[in-house]
Structure 1
């Protein structure tokens, strides 16, 4: 298992889908199955493509930066900062499982909106 390659592939996969090319992301980085745990996205390959196509159509000016990437065994964790229209900002934690062929096959995530005020001076990213 190549942890550095998995990290690079997870970032490239997420960036490609987020920036409006979900089918290319699936074709390049995903194996025969894609198990989805986000309740807002349908399970499987087509559910992923449909979700990110819709996000690109509705919010073409969103942006993403990758703050951290951690890999262990067959898992990669991404910590991102997203900015959506109207300066609506989110922090996400995404986890990807890779199969024995080095392809992404499963995804979990958690997302939190960055509040306007905080009890501390630290960023969420």
Structure 2
């Protein structure tokens, strides 16, 4: 008798689905990519660093694709989605490590830069992915 996994019986399979993971080369993004691959997804991972992309692709199926883009740059994001084309799911985990300091000592330009990728990058990605 053949048994089914919980994934097969719950209808949550990603088989045949194209999943784009921005920030997919390390940490939570890479773990998400690995889980999506195990669920049958066709993957596109994106990072700013080609070295990180190449390293991450070693732990993913040969069908996974890796691309680079600076997610704080709207033109690069727009070009990225033009290249990717249609997809089924978008995951955004990209962001720089937050360097905490005393609020009184915080350089506001540095604090704003943190949001370029974490907030505005995500906002811009959705803006260009929606089309």
| Band of TM-score, shorter chain | under 0.3
Q: Which has the larger radius of gyration?
A: 2
Structure having the larger proportion of residues in helix: 2
Q: Structure 2-normalised TM-score?
A: 0.26
Q: Structure 1-normalised TM-score?
A: 0.27
